[in-house]
Amino acid sequence: MQRNGNGKVAHAHRTGGRIARSRSALSARMPMGEFLFEYLYRCGVKDSFGVPGDFALPTFAWLDKSPIRSITMTHEPGAGFAADAYSRLNGIGLVCVTYCVGGLNVVNAIAGAYAEKSPVIVVSGAPGRKDREKDPLLHHKVKTFETQRRVYDEVTVATTVLLDEETAASEIVRCVQAALRHKRPAYIEVPHDMVDRMIPTNFTRPVEPSPSDPEVLQAALDEAIDLIDHAKKPVILAGVELHRFGLTDLALKLAEKFNIPIASDLLSKSAVAENHPLYLGVYGGAMSSDPETRKYVESSDCVLMLGTFITDMNMGIYTAKLDRSRTVLATTESLSVCYHKYEDVQFVDFLAGLSRASLGKKKFKHPNPHAGPKPLDKSEMTDALNMRELMRIVSLHVDEKTCVVSDVGDGLFGAIGIRTNARAEFIAPAYYLSMGFAVPAGVGVSIANPALRPFVLVGDGAFQMTGTELSTAVRLGLKPIVLILNNEGYGTMRKIRDGRFNVISQWNYQKICELIGGGVASCATTKGELDGAIRAALGSNQLHVIEVRLPRDDMSPQLANMTAEMAKLRGASRKKN
């Protein structure tokens, strides 16, 4: 990702109808729309996802002239999910929408990006400065002209409405830099009568984060290193922040230096390449990828939780058994070693200090319990499919050229045991758990890294929410392999608490490609049919949709454990107060 430390963007020349720029300094004044997208481009945005609307058309016109490719999606939620997935691979994403009817449509996707630390910039068109005089009733307006911005205050780290030419450039830079610093979304509202105005580009550089207090940092390192030095069975729980902040190599340096085994949690799956020799598996209490990983982590006498979110899902709906007296929890927001909390310490400084630690010649033993998926035997080709076997078959085809993109339900929990071969090859809303993520996220992954082919795992319920984005994939010539896990409705909810509310319509999924005008559709009910359909898809250069018909009540062991715990909290057996 390219960043411009002084916030400057280079001078422009025209190429093919778009504005391209050299690396020289900005002119003293330039149109607001030109500056906005040139600055975003210099910060790493190469593609934008969105849906236009009348208040946003002047802004979209500047986007169209910029070096950033504009991709129109079928609906704003899909645009938000695509931008989120794109951001997870690219380091920053962009979604462009119109006022309220578009901006409020995409709030849920941005809330998920906030919860899971994905820096997506939301650019929204808006009523003009003159439109706001005398507070008229204007189409798309909800309560006041500030309504949408106030909503975004709750799901972003920075918001602005560009009503002042003199401060516009500084506000743009402030919001974008806040998103990059905190790895969370930011919101920029662009009134339609402001985007063409000339603005000054001499802005104040954003304040850099405070450095670590050296004495506090050393005290934290001393306690953590002493804990590791006295441990017999340490383990690193590699959290999602390692990937988001580009710190995975520092954590690996520590692990490799002392041969410390590494586990991930549900949200951070593939933050560390899962074919790394020190990798154990996914830890999540009762929802761990395998009993050996759970046993090793919970019996460890030193758990180094590096960049880990302590969420109910990551911790297996409170089934995780980790002793605080033998745990180091270090994130970008806080640092605790056992029962002691340390303030004013930057995560990167603490991690770097650990990686430089000296423990003599001490090396820890690694159990390496993992065995690869068993290849299919000819005798089982006609066997009926279930969720466990589906994931086994997918595992056989995952390699360094693929990326698993999972939706909520067994697309997520069933995929815990799939091992990817490189970092960031598993994308899922593993904390926020918003249904409908995977299909548009597959578009975002394909755009962010064309060399990766997405395996999209999506339940029939989630597919019906955002499956129309397959038409976007066809229009762009993308080739995701989409597995629709059809168990006839909201299977996860049925296990927690059943009712008529879990029933959905049964679509003819094999007609989807005919509807969207491209791709190949098939159906699999046996192991051999699924394996053959995946092989055909991998040998093809077009989108493939595979309907996988599964028993109505079947699910992976991990999801079964999760729903059992959730049923205790939300199910019919819960005692009424």
Q: Given this model, what pLDDT does residue 371 score?
A: 66
Are 173 and 316 part of one and the same domain? no
Q: How many CA atoms lie within 13 A of 50 on its CB side?
A: 30
Q: What is the mean pLDDT of residues 156-169?
A: 96
Q: Is the dihedral of CA 497, 498, 504, 509 positive or negative?
A: positive
Whole-structure pTM over 0.85, yes or no? yes
Examine the pLDDT at 66 and tell me if it is beyond 90: yes
What are the distances in angstroms from CA 301 to CA 230, 325, 327? 9, 9, 8
pLDDT tens per residue across span 541-556: 999 999 999 988 887 7
Q: Give the residue from 30, 106, 28 showing the smallest Cα distance to 65.
A: 30
pLDDT tens per residue across span 360-377: 656 677 676 566 788 999
Are 128 and 31 part of one and the same domain? yes
> What's the CA gap between 275 and 267, in Å, rounded?
18
Are 182 and 220 part of one and the same domain? no
Strand partners, 340: 337
Establish if 38 belongs to a structural domain. Answer: yes
Are 275 and 396 part of one and the same domain? no
> What's the CA gap between 156 and 387, in Å, rounded?
37
Are 189 and 45 part of one and the same domain? yes
User: What contacts 406, CB < 8 A, 6 or more positions away?
Assistant: 412, 415, 426, 427, 428, 438, 457, 458
The one-character DSSP state at 212 is P
Establish if 163 belongs to a structural domain. Answer: yes
Establish if 372 belongs to a structural domain. Answer: no
The one-character DSSP state at 25 is P
Domain end call among 305, 322, 355: 355
The one-character DSSP state at 56 is G
pLDDT tens per residue across span 201-241: 987 677 777 899 999 999 999 999 999 999 999 999 999 99
> What's the CA gap between 19 and 343, in Å, rounded?
46
Instruction: Return the higher-pLDDT residue of 132 and 496.
Output: 132
Written as one string, the DSSP assignment of 82-98 is: HHHHHHHHHS-EEEEE-
Q: Given this model, what pLDDT does residue 559 score?
A: 74
Establish if 72 belongs to a structural domain. Answer: yes
* CATH number (domain holding residue 240): 3.40.50.1220
12-21, 38-47, 142-151, 155-164, range with the lowest pLDDT: 12-21
Domain end call among 355, 387, 413: 355
Q: Given this model, what pLDDT does residue 5 score?
A: 36
Which amino acid appears at position 330 of this protein? A
User: What contacts 230, CB < 8 A, 6 or more positions away?
Assistant: 302
pLDDT tens per residue across span 381-399: 999 999 899 999 999 999 9
pLDDT tens per residue across span 304-356: 999 998 887 777 777 888 889 999 999 999 999 999 999 999 999 999 999 99
Domain of residue 443 covers 378-570
Domain end call among 355, 389, 406: 355
Q: Given this model, what pLDDT does residue 576 score?
A: 43
Q: Is the dihedral of CA 245, 249, 255, 261 positive or negative?
A: positive
Q: What is the mean pLDDT of residues 406-426?
A: 83
Residue 193, class by beta-carbon neighbours within 10 Å (0-12 exposed, 13-18 middle, 19+ buried)? middle
Q: What is the mean pLDDT of residues 65-83?
A: 98
> What's the CA gap between 240 and 157, in Å, rounded?
18
Q: Given this model, what pLDDT does residue 127 score?
A: 93
Examine the pLDDT at 285 and tell me if it is beyond 90: no
Examine the pLDDT at 14 and tell me if it is beyond 60: no
Q: Given this model, what pLDDT does residue 422 score?
A: 72
pLDDT tens per residue across span 490-537: 777 777 788 888 778 899 999 999 999 999 999 999 999 999 999 999
Are 545 and 399 part of one and the same domain? yes
Instruction: Return the higher-pLDDT residue of 405 and 558.
Output: 405
> What's the CA gap between 388 and 182, in Å, rounded?
37
Establish if 205 belongs to a structural domain. Answer: no
Contact 135, 89 (CB under 8 A): no
Establish if 252 belongs to a structural domain. Answer: yes
23-32, 121-130, 142-151, 278-287, range with the lowest pLDDT: 23-32
Q: Write b or e for each residue in 42-62: b if 16 or more Cβ atoms lie within 10 A of its Cβ, otherwise e.
A: bbbbbbbbbbbbebbebbbeb
Q: What is the 3-state secondary structure (H, E, C) of 503-555?
A: CCCCCCHHHHHHHHCCCEEEEECEHHHHHHHHHHHHCCCCCEEEEEECCCCCC
Q: How much of the chain exceeds pLDDT 90, in percent?
A: 67
Q: Given this model, what pLDDT does residue 140 score?
A: 78
> What's the CA gap between 499 and 521, in Å, rounded?
31
Examine the pLDDT at 574 and tell me if it is beyond 70: no
pLDDT tens per residue across span 428-469: 998 888 999 999 999 999 999 999 999 999 999 999 999 999
Contact 159, 187 (CB under 8 A): yes
Mean pLDDT of the chain: 89
Are 61 and 36 part of one and the same domain? yes
> What's the CA gap between 94 and 60, in Å, rounded?
13
Q: Give the residue from 304, 345, 59 showing the smallest Cα distance to 212.
A: 345
Structural domains counted in the chain: 3
Examine the pLDDT at 577 and tell me if it is beyond 60: no
Instruction: Return the higher-pLDDT residue of 130 and 182.
Output: 182
User: What contacts 165, CB < 8 A, 6 or more positions away?
Assistant: 32, 194, 197, 198, 199, 200
Contact 235, 300 (CB under 8 A): yes
Which tokens hold the place of 42?
């210099």
List, in sequence order, the alpha helices (H) in 145-207. 147-153, 165-182
Are 133 and 33 part of one and the same domain? yes
Q: What is the mean pLDDT of residues 267-291?
A: 88
Are 468 and 334 part of one and the same domain? no
Residue 134, class by beta-carbon neighbours within 10 Å (0-12 exposed, 13-18 middle, 19+ buried)? exposed
> What's the CA gap between 268 and 192, in Å, rounded?
40
Q: Given this model, what pLDDT does residue 332 score?
A: 94
State residue 51 phi and psi, 5-degree precision: -140, 125
Q: Given this model, what pLDDT does residue 7 score?
A: 36
Establish if 360 belongs to a structural domain. Answer: no
Radius of gyration of the chain (CA): 25
Q: Given this model, what pLDDT does residue 572 score?
A: 58
Are 120 and 77 part of one and the same domain? yes
Q: What is the mean pLDDT of residues 275-284?
A: 90
Q: Give the residue from 449, 454, 477, 451 showing the smallest Cα distance to 541.
A: 477
* CATH number (domain holding residue 40): 3.40.50.970
Q: Write b or e for each residue in 397-411: b if 16 or more Cβ atoms lie within 10 A of its Cβ, otherwise e.
A: ebeeebbbbbbbbbb
State residue 563 phi and psi, 5-degree precision: -65, -30
Examine the pLDDT at 3 and tell me if it is beyond 90: no
The one-character DSSP state at 286 is G
Contact 528, 548 (CB under 8 A): no
Residues in the chain: 577
Say which residue the tokens 């597959």 belong to: 442
User: What contacts 186, CB < 8 A, 6 or more positions away?
Assistant: 119, 121, 122, 156, 157, 158, 159, 175, 176, 178, 179
10 Å Cβ neighbour count for 371? 7
Q: Given this model, what pLDDT does residue 20 score?
A: 43
Q: Give the residue from 280, 243, 255, 178 showing the smallest Cα distance to 430.
A: 243
Which tokens hold the place of 547?
């309907």
Contact 307, 238 (CB under 8 A): yes
Establish if 368 belongs to a structural domain. Answer: no
41-55, 195-209, 237-251, 300-314, range with the lowest pLDDT: 195-209
Q: Given this model, what pLDDT does residue 361 score?
A: 59
Are 251 and 162 part of one and the same domain? no
Are 349 and 234 part of one and the same domain? yes
